[in-house]
Amino acid sequence: MNIILASASPRRQQLLGKLIKDFKILVSNFDESSVKFNGNPCDYVCILAEEKAKDVLQKVNEDTLIIGCDTIVFFNGHVLGKPKNEKEAFSMLKMLSNNVHYVYSSIVIINSVTKDVKKSCICTEVKFMDLHEELIKDYVKSGEPFDKAGAYGIQDKGAIFVEGINGCYYNVMGLSVNKLYLMLKEMGVNL
């Protein structure tokens, strides 16, 4: 059975590669801004991931499992996605400084033949140290925050901000390897 990852994220591609060597990447064109936040972060990321997978499903005509994913940072009732500019990146990191936030990621797998759908939402608690303004400015100037929810990457230089986590580390990167493994097994993939 073919497997398609509906994501342009290099981190998700790397993490999926820990489980499966032979998969394709077909990036979804779904407009994420068309989904309004309903107050529930799990529902929100699951809807986004499912819509991405459905978008790719329309482009597939073979026996395939399509994996859609999404990740957000949730803090004080607000969704922090990818920052649009330096000012927004700085603002997000300043907000997260010396606070606990939650990273929600979803995985949705659709079987193109049976139309079976498996969904999962994973939450990880992350505690940041107190970030001084110069540290934030230097990090923003590095360019690293701009393709990452919450304006940081735990797997890169952003790791220095993290005092601790409660939950799955890989979830903070954007794809829980453990949860994906279990979901693929449920869908009959021999790993």
What is the CB neighbour count within 10 angstroms for residue 131?
Answer: 18
Per the domain annotation, does 88 fall within a domain? yes
Per the domain annotation, does 39 fall within a domain? yes
Our answer to whether residue 70 is catalytic in this structure is: yes
For the whole model, what pTM was predicted? 0.93
Residue 173 has pLDDT above 90, yes or no: yes
Cα angle for residues 28, 34, 39 (degrees, 5° grid): 115
Q: How high is the pLDDT of residue 169?
A: 97
The active-site residue out of 70, 116, 138, 147 is 70
- Domain harbouring 163, CATH code: 3.90.950.10
- Give the Å distances, CA to CA, from 108 to 25, 75, 105, 147, 190: 15, 23, 10, 21, 18
Per the domain annotation, does 191 fall within a domain? no
Q: Which of 1-10, 90-99, 118-127 has the lowest mean pLDDT?
A: 1-10
d(CA 125, CA 166): 5
Structural domain including 127 reads 2-186
Per the domain annotation, does 47 fall within a domain? yes
Domains identified in the chain, total number: 1
Q: How high is the pLDDT of residue 1?
A: 82
